[in-house]
Structure 1
Amino acid sequence: MSLVAAAVCPHPPLLVPEVAAGAAAELDDLRVACRAAVAHLTNASVDSLIVVGSDTTTVRRQPPFGGTLSPWGIDLPVGDPSGEQLPLSLLIGAWLAPHAADFQSVAVDAPPAECARLGRALAGQAERVGLLVLGDGSSCRTEKAPGFFDARAEPFDAAVAAALAGADAAALAAIDPGEAEELLVAGRAPWQVLAGACQDGDRKMTGELLYEAAPYGVGYFVATWQ
């Protein structure tokens, strides 16, 4: 039982064209990359596709999976909105992969060791496990970014991009939680869950970076591992 494929995507609500409205075309390249990443998971013929994203707590979500985008300005249902509202990261995951049947949140402040344990547990769930990992990079890339400008943001995001491109689980596991928190990084804990999921594998994974940009001063990455 092991992780055989993974996709990493960001989770801005503007990824959904109806939310972005007149600005929808600005993220077309990102949407194309995200669709390609999810197709990578489908083509891997996984037995269990698990969506992982950050929230305030670490919880295995129970069906029905879904919610509405009304907190972000439009009452658009995603998945099955009859159950408990998914947090934004998992809601975007449900929008990207409507066929997913397993959703796991991880606390945004979860220590790296806890993230690693969770990743190993998820990778052991089935013979062929796939992960869709949702997470944004630094929110401090420009003066108009949500966290204003921080000179550390660009090199931080560059290191994450390199780790994702190289399927470098050790580099993701080594991300400093304190620095990530200061740079308003939403993806640190989910990325470290991915790193943990690789620890017990019997072969090294390869990666491909499909997208890297910071269109709104926030680092967005799309990558595939196999």
Structure 2
Amino acid sequence: MLVAAAVCPCPPLLVPEVAAGAAPELDALRAACDEALAALVAAEPQLVVAVGAGPEAEVWTEGGAGSFHRYGVPLIAKLPGGRVEGPELAPSLTVGAWLLERAGVTLPTHACAVPADAPADRMLGLGQGLAGLADRVALLVLGDGSACRSLKAPGYLDERAEGFDTSLAAALGSADLPALAAVDPALAAELKAEGRAPWQVLAGAAEGAGLTARLGYQDAPYGVGYFVASWS
């Protein structure tokens, strides 16, 4: 059963070594992620599952690791109990592993990558399955909102992006499962919101769990929507 969730964005710039001189710009975001992870640990889960977008569906059940070498930083992040050997974590999950390490999480941890174009019903079903892996399960849900919030955003400016992100923030901050389940995959893809599939995994996992939520961060630095929420 799902007992807690931490919703965090997963830009590589969250890692200070990657951001370098721009690192202070995301200090508030890092602090919000730290708070969400602390709340997740406080719920005393038996198992943590990190869920993030990836190029294909993939699961890591015996640890895993990812690197930031592609950004010119000789840094490796491992899931609790993870090994450096084996298939590398998807980029979103590598940031998740870094967040877990930063929070000092030592709980048994699995990781699950889901394709950005995965159908909503499959994500809801996956979430239900993940929630049943242990009596007390917590999810670390990794995903960014629209990447079309400004002229300099990765996806350029799309007038629909701000409203899309505002609705998402409201749903994530109130544990509105029907609203999350109803997010349109096609619209999310057009707005380059890679968190859509992971958030729908959360909606499936939280079905019947009676969790409440609190939004800890909402902003769009660099023209990309970032949200942090704690569910417990």
Instruction: Tell me, yes or no, whether TM beats 0.5.
Output: yes
The amino acid of 2:88's aligned partner reads Q
**Contact 1:67/1:82 (8 A) holds in 2:** no
1:62 CA drift (Å): 4.1
TM-score when scaled to structure 2? 0.93
Q: Equivalences for 1:147-162 in 2 at 5 Å?
A: 147-162=155-170
**Contact 2:66/2:91 (8 A) holds in 1:** no
State the secondary structure of the residue aligned to 1:210: strand
1:27 CA drift (Å): 0.2
Query: Unpaired runs of 5+ in structure 2?
Result: none
Distance 2:168 2:84 in 1: 33
1:63 CA drift (Å): 3.2
Distance 2:44 2:212 in 1: 17
1:34-92 CA distances to partner (integer Å, 9 max, x unpaired)? 00111111100001111000112122124341121011221211124333211111001
**Which residue of the other structure, out of 105, 118, 122, is the alignment partner of 1:114?**
122
The amino acid of 2:170's aligned partner reads A
Give the percent of matched residue pairs that are identical in Structure 1 and Structure 2. Answer: 52
1:169 CA drift (Å): 1.1
Distance 1:168 1:200 in 2: 12
- State the match for 1:14 in structure 2: 13
Kindly indicate whether residue 64 of structure 2 is the aligned counterpart of residue 61 of structure 1: no
Kindly indicate whether residue 217 of structure 2 is the aligned counterpart of residue 214 of structure 1: no
- State the match for 2:174 in structure 1: 166
**Contact 2:46/2:135 (8 A) holds in 1:** yes
Kindly indicate whether residue 91 of structure 2 is the aligned counterpart of residue 88 of structure 1: yes
Kindly indicate whether residue 55 of structure 2 is the aligned counterpart of residue 52 of structure 1: no
State the secondary structure of the residue aligned to 2:96: helix
Distance 2:26 2:84 in 1: 25
State the secondary structure of the residue aligned to 1:208: strand
1:161-209 CA distances to partner (integer Å, 9 max, x unpaired)? 00011111111000000000000011000000000012243xx221100
The amino acid of 2:226's aligned partner reads Y
Distance 1:27 1:222 in 2: 13
- State the match for 1:34 in structure 2: 33
The amino acid of 1:84's aligned partner reads P
Alpha-carbon RMSD: 1.1
| 77-86 or 33-42, which deviates more | 77-86
How many residue pairs match? The answer is 223
Distance 1:176 1:64 in 2: 32
| 54-63 or 174-183, which deviates more | 54-63
**Contact 1:67/1:83 (8 A) holds in 2:** no
The amino acid of 1:151's aligned partner reads E
Distance 2:60 2:32 in 1: 26
1:159 CA drift (Å): 0.2
Query: Unpaired runs of 5+ in structure 1?
Result: none
Distance 2:152 2:21 in 1: 20
